A and B are shown apart, each in its own frame.
Chain A
């Protein structure tokens, strides 16, 4: 049996409906008919998060990815480091599934291996029985009828399989909006005119131009000179070509190695990739052989990408189009489901074809901005959703929403939304309009640690909100009651929103008590993981500086959860070496009137810190 053959091996376990395999037409390709709740097309950060969120919320998912590894631009094949709201230099590092991934990777990967990042994603998907993972599988056809997509066709050349997949919902996380385009869904492309959405950064006249693709490389120092001879097809560069493009170090490539915005970024991809290779080798040739970087003498290329990282292509039209004005004004949408915080970062379409101009213009933001659900489902099809860089935004707005941390957040929003819609039997469009259901969905997102603004925990099912909170000790500003104040992070309102106690007097505890016993199934804890800092794998030493690799010092590592009834300890759990922000403890219908968390130590901080406790029956 193949190592990964989820279709066959786990069909019974996963309850993926399989028709009898249709005998292939000519004995070569096998045709697999499949049925599921959600197909996620695209296994980049948005697709990964969408699939995992949906699966964790109880629906069946088929995730198709046209590469052998997950992560897209963040994978070892492209190696772009994940950017997002931490760029604000405030407190807004994204949480949820993305935070879980980043903490895990930081913990298990001191060697900074990109393949280990791939493995973290792979492990999380493979470990979830609700996900059927199809690698090296390319979407090639979509069948639709009326306002619904009926099925998609995909094939895997490696295994000579054709998949015919029917689902209740389809999520386009391809980045290029491929699924939407095949279905004939409305999409946008290029740069809008000012007049379209009254955007100050819009053009006088709209065009079809986009931002370009980039190709990265990595290099390493050696203990002797490492000569380099460029191939004939490498471009030739001189000192003036780098007037606006700084070569500050050699170990990691440069985002400004960018081309393709003036071409068809998708259909001209073969040429764009060859051209980018010419740039990469030309830039390296300049570094090694111009004489202007004598300190590069002992450096040699160790890796270069063969897949360009894309920034922009199609943007699927939703019920709302997010604009520059929404972002600068930080509009508080009723149907907000996530946030972004990267600057408005538009790139010169010509890229390295015109080195006389600056490669980008970046406009920093005041703070994070909300993204509404209405940008994440198609206006054309009731059962088509999207996440990533192909959502319903203008070109200008895309310049901030396109970064991978934001894409990951939106993936979680979409996956959770689809599960919610399946379970509540309503469409995403209906959800966006239903105030009560929308609130319940937002509460679900918050409970699952989604990065979402101005939503407070008001979950009627959370017994913790009705508990009396006491503790062994607390510092001023770190009062224990804050663990049930509804806010699970620093939001720059002058409060910590966490319990804090000093370790110097030993173990510390915090406890919740009720007047009458409660039957608990889960206790959910949210710890402090230093959301004011960057946390991301990068090949660039400067980017890794000021990060903490390994567990974050603020996080409580060792603790005990004690469950009491009538003064008697009825159950106890020990946890050691925790490094995660959100931890869910399952207890089997335990009747308690008091839960106590005894914090024993952190990963280095002087305080025991806890943002939130939730308790559910």
Chain B
């Protein structure tokens, strides 16, 4: 994160926020905040563990209330910010009757909020690498009724990196949600993942990042306990989670037809590249396995290399 942002941030913020308010619409799992995030020496806020209406819908959340200032004007913002359990920004909501405003107090339109959310989700945005002043068009000016003065608009070259007319708001929020807070929340997860029993939650999630985290942090001694969940991950939407699941299951699984036959029975549900790797890993097929492989061989969507491999398994058994 750029060092200059810290200096610029003091410039941007004209108001100290020490918000203890609860993010609205969500239920705190614990009364105490899980940590207090310090943005700089004028801004800090509490982070809570919250859940939505669905029991498994968990987030870190904070209520942010502050001012965003450019060289002419300060605008107040109030927003609920949410991060997923890995510490990656997830979404925001606004308190009732609150709106974001942009140049000359125009309200954000619905598409502006959508764009803001998309920008905040882009951890590699240009906002990371440029100081806010460098995002302005040095050759143009626009007249502001609000302050009765000219200001500089955002350079058209960066129009995709911000909501037009709201550069400072977007820039400020981006650096808050994608700043050191990501690392702090990731550390919190690492420290509390086991004690909170989140492994099952992550394994059952439909989010690839949670599925991958579950697999990456599965201890060898726990594989037996979670084998069913790992097998389930062979069939998920993400391209890479199934490959990690294949590795976790290991040769003890892929050399034991009693374990892998159910997978072959469902082979048509697997992505083609996943099936290719599984077929390469299979060994010692018993008669049931060979029967299933013969049925699979008749499937017209098999790739040529997959056919070759099945023929090899039927002929040689490895």
Residues of A in contact with B (beta carbons under 8 Å apart): 194, 198, 200-201, 238-240, 243, 289-292, 294, 297, 328-329, 344, 361, 363-364, 366-367
Which 7 A/B pairs are nearest by Cβ-Cβ distance? A291-B305, A200-B2, A291-B276, A239-B273, A363-B129, A292-B273, A366-B157
Cα–Cα, bound, A30→B307 (Å)? 65
- How many residue pairs link A and B with beta carbons under 8 A? The number is 53
A115 to chain B, nearest CB (A): 36
Asked if B243 contacts A290 (CB within 8 A), the reply is: no
Asked if A290 contacts B4 (CB within 8 A), the reply is: no
With A239-B243, A292-B273, A366-B155 as given contacts, are A201 and B129 in contact (CB-CB < 8 Å)? Answer: yes
Whether, in the assembled complex, B95 has its beta carbon less than 8 Å from a beta carbon of chain A, the answer is no
A154 to chain B, nearest CB (A): 43
Whether, in the assembled complex, B303 has its beta carbon less than 8 Å from a beta carbon of chain A, the answer is yes
The residue of chain B having its C-beta at the shortest distance from the C-beta of A225 within the complex is B304
Asked if B124 contacts A361 (CB within 8 A), the reply is: yes
Asked if A290 contacts B276 (CB within 8 A), the reply is: yes
Asked if A289 contacts B243 (CB within 8 A), the reply is: no
Number of interface residues of B (CB under 8 A): 24
B198 to chain A, nearest CB (A): 23
Cα–Cα, bound, A291→B272 (Å)? 9
A-B contact pairs, 17 of them (CB 8 A): A198-B3, A200-B129, A239-B239, A240-B240, A240-B243, A240-B244, A243-B239, A290-B273, A290-B276, A290-B305, A291-B305, A291-B306, A292-B272, A328-B130, A361-B124, A366-B158, A367-B157
With A238-B277, A292-B272, A328-B134 as given contacts, are A200 and B3 in contact (CB-CB < 8 Å)? Answer: yes
Asked if B303 contacts A294 (CB within 8 A), the reply is: yes
Whether, in the assembled complex, B204 has its beta carbon less than 8 Å from a beta carbon of chain A, the answer is no
A445 to chain B, nearest CB (A): 25
- Which residues of A have CB within 8 Å of B124? 361
- Which residues of A have CB within 8 Å of B134? 328-329, 366
B217-261 vs A, CB cutoff 8 Å, 1 = contact: the mask equals 000000000000000000000011001100000000000000000
A214 to chain B, nearest CB (A): 22
B303 to chain A, nearest CB (A): 5
A53 to chain B, nearest CB (A): 32
Cα–Cα, bound, A485→B304 (Å)? 65
Asked if B240 contacts A243 (CB within 8 A), the reply is: yes
- Which residues of B have CB within 8 Å of A328? 129-130, 134
- Which residues of A have CB within 8 Å of B277? 238-239
Residues of B in contact with A (beta carbons under 8 Å apart): 2-4, 124, 126, 129-130, 134, 155, 157-158, 239-240, 243-244, 272-273, 276-277, 303-306, 309
Cα–Cα, bound, A290→B306 (Å)? 9
- Which residues of A have CB within 8 Å of B158? 366
Cα–Cα, bound, A290→B243 (Å)? 14
- Which residues of A have CB within 8 Å of B240? 239-240, 243
Interface of A is mostly: loop
The residue of chain B having its C-beta at the shortest distance from the C-beta of A239 within the complex is B273
A239, A329, A363: residue with the most chain B Cβ atoms closer than 10 Å: A239
The residue of chain A having its C-beta at the shortest distance from the C-beta of B272 within the complex is A292
B233 to chain A, nearest CB (A): 14
The residue of chain B having its C-beta at the shortest distance from the C-beta of A195 within the complex is B3
- Which residues of A have CB within 8 Å of B2? 200
The residue of chain B having its C-beta at the shortest distance from the C-beta of A362 within the complex is B124
A293 to chain B, nearest CB (A): 10
Asked if A194 contacts B304 (CB within 8 A), the reply is: no
Cα–Cα, bound, A198→B2 (Å)? 10
Asked if B4 contacts A291 (CB within 8 A), the reply is: no
- Which residues of A have CB within 8 Å of B273? 239, 290-292
Cα–Cα, bound, A367→B2 (Å)? 21
- Which residues of B have CB within 8 Å of A200? 2-4, 129
Asked if B126 contacts A294 (CB within 8 A), the reply is: no
Cα–Cα, bound, A297→B305 (Å)? 11
- Which residues of A have CB within 8 Å of B3? 194, 198, 200
With A243-B240, A297-B304, A363-B129 as given contacts, are A292 and B276 in contact (CB-CB < 8 Å)? Answer: yes
- Which residues of B have CB within 8 Å of A329? 134
- Which residues of B have CB within 8 Å of A290? 273, 276, 305
- Extra inter-chain contacts (12) besides given A238-B243, A290-B276, A291-B276, CB under 8 Å: A200-B2, A200-B4, A239-B243, A240-B240, A240-B243, A243-B239, A291-B306, A294-B305, A297-B304, A363-B126, A364-B126, A366-B155
The residue of chain B having its C-beta at the shortest distance from the C-beta of A288 within the complex is B305
- Which residues of B have CB within 8 Å of A344? 129
B154 to chain A, nearest CB (A): 11
Cα–Cα, bound, A344→B2 (Å)? 15
The residue of chain A having its C-beta at the shortest distance from the C-beta of B304 within the complex is A294
- Which residues of B have CB within 8 Å of A201? 129
B124, B126, B155, B157: residue with the most chain A Cβ atoms closer than 10 Å: B157
Cα–Cα, bound, A226→B183 (Å)? 49
A396 to chain B, nearest CB (A): 10
